[in-house]
Amino acid sequence: MSGDTDRERFADYLAVLGAAGEALRSHTDLVSVGALVKLYGSLLKLDARARRVVGYLEAQTDQPKQVDVAHLDLFHDFFRELDRMGAVVGELDVALLDIYHPGLMAELAAATGQDNDVVYFFNRHLAPKYGLDVADLPPALAHLLANYNSDYGYSAGFGHVEGALLRGRSRRSLRWRSEQDEDPVLLGPEQLRTLGDLVDGLGRLHRAVGGLVRENWRLAELADTRPPTEPTVKVIMGDNYQNITGSTLVNRSLVQESFQQSVDRGDRAAAEALRTVADAIARAGNDVAADHLNAFNEELAKKRPNKALLKTFWTGLVAAMPAITQLTDAVAKIESLF
């Protein structure tokens, strides 16, 4: 497994964020600001997806843990967002290079795909030109080069971790299912430790980016800041429920999409029930229940929703907010969906 490699990767990410903090204190570059906002948004999504994965595994008492085919999408969604997050860190690398070494990235890109060894080209030509010590490169540049391929450029995906964790049952491999693919994936101590390292690394990264958001007005003005008694800052991700203040809770766009899908399937009663539940969660201000509802609605909005996932998300919602069961008619209509 790749635990040590991934711990080093998150250490590199944190070093890049340190450089970004320095840049924000002395520059007004909007590209780096935009990349940090995108990174924070991705980390918010990852936080939600990680909670779903961890919650699914913690609900199992037996060892080793099992991931059945119906719930592989929980893990695939998590790793898909991890790949997006890695790509955004690359954007931040490039933004920082443009601040401190304008023109270097353009020359590096021009050498990509030209049968050059890009690292050799950088060490031999670009480092001397830009006055850089190859033994002591700035964090953003060191991270970019460590994840740079001479043929196609920057790449910092987590596909190798997904493949190892799920024993080769990656998103791509499941396009061609065999009978063996119906067997559950078993996660032993080593796989669980790797997953735990990923979640811990994301937590450190989330806190670091949150600190930058709170420190810098250029980021804070793009974020929704809670009252002084609740200092956490959250970037508003998409179209959120109107009567929510100070937090990103029920995603109204997802409510509308799942509502429309239910109407299109001829089940307007279930669609109205979803709105009733969304309104109750919004009034209660229950973040965890809202996260499960957003996941439920996201799955329901698909053309072929996974009923096992719908049941998992709904069970999590009820556990987070038992009072929702008092809405007996709405609950019955929603439970009929799975």
Q: What is the reported pLDDT for 173?
A: 46
Residue 178: predicted pLDDT: 45
Burial bucket for residue 329 (CB in 10 Å: 0-12, 13-18, 19+): exposed
Lowest mean pLDDT among 40-49, 100-109, 128-137: 40-49
Confidence of residue 86 (pLDDT cuts 50, 70, 90): confident
Residue 198 has pLDDT above 80, yes or no: yes
DSSP 62-109: SSSEEE-GGGHHHHHHHHHHHHHHHHHHHHHHHHHHHHHSTTHHHHHH
174 pLDDT tier (thresholds 50, 70, 90): very low
In the block, which residue shows the tokens 């089940």? 267
Residue 209 CB contacts under 8 Å (≥ 6 apart), including other chains: 17, 36, 39, 40, 43
* pLDDT above 50: residue 321: yes
Note the pLDDT tens digit of each residue in 206-220. Answer: 888 877 766 665 554
C-alpha distance from residue 102 to each of 21, 129, 172, 220 (Å): 19, 12, 38, 27
Q: Which contacts of 184-192 are long-range, i.e. CB under 8 A and separated by 24 or more positions?
A: 184/66, 184/67, 184/68, 184/69, 185/66, 185/67, 185/72, 186/64, 186/65, 186/66, 187/57, 187/64, 187/65, 187/66, 187/67, 188/63, 188/64, 189/64, 190/1, 191/1, 191/164, 191/165, 192/57, 192/65
Give long-range contacts, CB 8 A cutoff, 24+ apart: 178-181: 181/69
DSSP of 156-184, one letter per residue?
---HHHHHHHTTT--TTGGGS--GGGGSP
Taking only the tens place, the pLDDT of each residue in 21-78 is 777 666 555 556 677 777 877 887 888 888 888 888 888 888 888 888 778 888 888 8
pTM value > 0.85: no
Helices 268-284 and 252-264 pack at an angle, to 10 degrees, of 160
242 contact partners, CB below 8 Å, separation of at least 6 = 252
| Structure-block tokens of residue 56 | 């699914």
The CA distance from 169 to 163, in Å, is 6
Distance CA 282, CA 280 (A): 5
- Decide if pLDDT at 16 tops 70: yes
Sign of CA dihedral 49, 47, 313, 302: negative
Between the two ends of the chain, the Cα-to-Cα distance in Å is: 36
User: What is the overall mean pLDDT for the chain?
Assistant: 75
What is the average per-residue pLDDT within 188-197? 83
pLDDT at 131: 93
Asked if pLDDT for residue 177 goes beyond 90, the answer is: no
- Quick one: average pLDDT of 272-284? 86
Mean pLDDT is lowest, of 197-201, 258-262, 303-307, for 258-262
